[in-house]
Amino acid sequence: MANVDNPCGLVPVGHLYGAPINGGVRRCYVHASYGTALYVGDPVDLQTETDYQDPLGKHLSVMIATQGDGNFICGVIVGVEARPANLTQQYLPASTGGYVYVNIDPNVIYKVQDNAGATPDKTWPGSNMCLASGTGSTVTGKSVWEIAGATSPAENDSYQVMVLGLDDREDNELATHADWLVLINTHRFARTSTSDGTAVGFYGVVAT
C-alpha cells in the first residue's frame, strides 16, 4: 500500500533520552512587520533584524528557518497564541505579529515526511539530510515542511537533520512520502565539537 502524501511539518514524538517532551517550549515573539506566515510544525531560527526584536527584550524573536545545507534551526513551532482578532485561527498570518510556542530542546525526536524528491532507501537511517520548505495550510494551521529527498544522504554535519529511521507503523513503508524520525542536526542550542574534539559553544545571533 502506498504511503499517503500528508505533510505536517516537524511533529515532536519523543525524546532522545526518554524524557518527557513538554519542558522545552518557549513563548517567542514575532514582529507585526514580519512578512512570512508561520504554521505549527515550521522550523524557526532566531530573528536577525534589529527592528523585529521584542521591544521589551523578554522573549526570543524568531523567523522561519531557511532550508538547506548549513542553515541553523533554533526549534519548531508547536503552538500559536490565540489573538483577539481571530480566536480560532491556528496559524500566524504574515505581517500580523504575535507569539508562537517553540520547542527549543535539541534532543527532541520529530516525525517528518519525505517530499518524494528521491526514492527512500534502507541506508537513510544514521545519515544527515536537509529540509525542504513550503507554505502551510490556512485551514489546519499545519506546516508542510518535509525532508528534501533530492539532497543525497551524507555524513555531513552541516545538513539540517539526522535520520534515526522510519516511523514504525503498519501504514508507513519504505517508499516515497514515508514518515521518518529525525533529530535537528544544526540546532542553535546543541553543543557541538570540532573534528579534533574541541568543545564549541552555542551559535548565537546579533541582530543588525
Taking the whole predicted model, whether its pTM rises above 0.75 is answered as yes
- pLDDT tens-digit series, residues 6-63: 999 999 999 999 988 877 899 999 999 999 999 999 999 999 999 999 999 999 999 9
Q: Identify the pLDDT of residue 196.
A: 45
Q: Identify the pLDDT of residue 23.
A: 78
Q: What angle do CA 164, 170, 171 make, to 5 degrees?
A: 90
Q: pLDDT at residue 204 above 70?
A: no
Rounded Cα distance, 120 and 176, in Å:
6
- pLDDT tens-digit series, residues 71-127: 999 999 999 999 888 888 999 999 999 999 999 999 999 999 999 999 998 999 999
Give SS3 for 50.
Answer: helix
> What DSSP character marks residue 9?
-
- pLDDT tens-digit series, residues 138-192: 999 999 999 998 887 888 888 999 999 999 999 999 999 999 999 999 999 986 5
Residue with cell 537511517: 125
Closest CA to 145 of 7, 11, 5: 7
Closest CA to 76 of 124, 136, 165, 33: 136
Q: pLDDT at residue 195 above 60?
A: no
